[in-house]
Amino acid sequence: MRGGLALVLVMFVQACLPAGSGEGAARPADATLVPPGYGSLHQEDITLTVRVGDLQVKITPLAEWVLRLTAPDTYKRLSGAVARLDEADRVGRLPVLVSLFTEAAGGTEVELRDLVLVSRGRRYRPQVVRGLTLGWGTGRVRQRESQQAIYLFDGDVDLEMDLDVMFGDVRTAEWNVILPRLETERARIRSRVGVSSSQGRTS
């Protein structure tokens, strides 16, 4: 009788536990993520700009948690660019969109691998570079021609901490201005849909 009562109590306690509790359950979702489809930021809101002589360099981190803070059309466009990369390139790496542009007559020479991220005192150089435009890789940007590529960095780069970006001899801490904007947007989304939400809008 006592054994039967104990079994009933165990079954009752297990039924009250949240789904996925217990040994062998899946790890909780990344706490930095919010559901896609609720963001309002545009690409320029998450982009750093560096000027190296006549060359304008725009740098947009494409981490998933950052992209989910962007407006639906922006999210679709940027996440689509990441999805076109080979899985072997993406795993364990931080993708960064790099855009080059110049107004200089005759164009500008550029060292394409000159981009360095400085995170927690450590310098990271791109491990892989994948060109998105036909002219990428020539080492030259022609006048009023936009060149784009995705740079892939070691996944240890921490975008939630102070981050410096270097291109050639120019260094910027502009990410430290962008980061509070991201944190505010993330808080806004969470307050709207609830911290426990795991699905974005489908319409």
Domain extents in the chain: 33-185
* pLDDT reported for residue 47: 98
> What pLDDT digit, counting tens, does each position of 81-132 carry?
999 999 999 999 999 999 999 999 999 999 988 999 999 999 999 999 999 9
| Buried residues in 4-20 as b, exposed as e (16+ CB within 10 A) | eeeeeeeeeeeeeeeee
* pLDDT reported for residue 2: 47
**CB 178 within 8 Å of CB 45:** yes
CATH 1.10.3470 applies to domain 33-185: no
CA dihedral 165, 168, 170, 175 (to 10 degrees): -10
* pLDDT reported for residue 195: 56
* pLDDT band of 135, cuts 50, 70, 90: confident
Place of tokens 């006549």: 54
pTM: 0.80
Residue 67: which of 90, 88, 37, 93 has the closest Cα? 37
3-state secondary structure 39-105: CCECHHHHCEEEEECCEEEEEEECCHHHHCCECHHHHHHHHHHHHCCCHHHHCCEEEEEEEEEECCC
d(CA 14, CA 31): 26
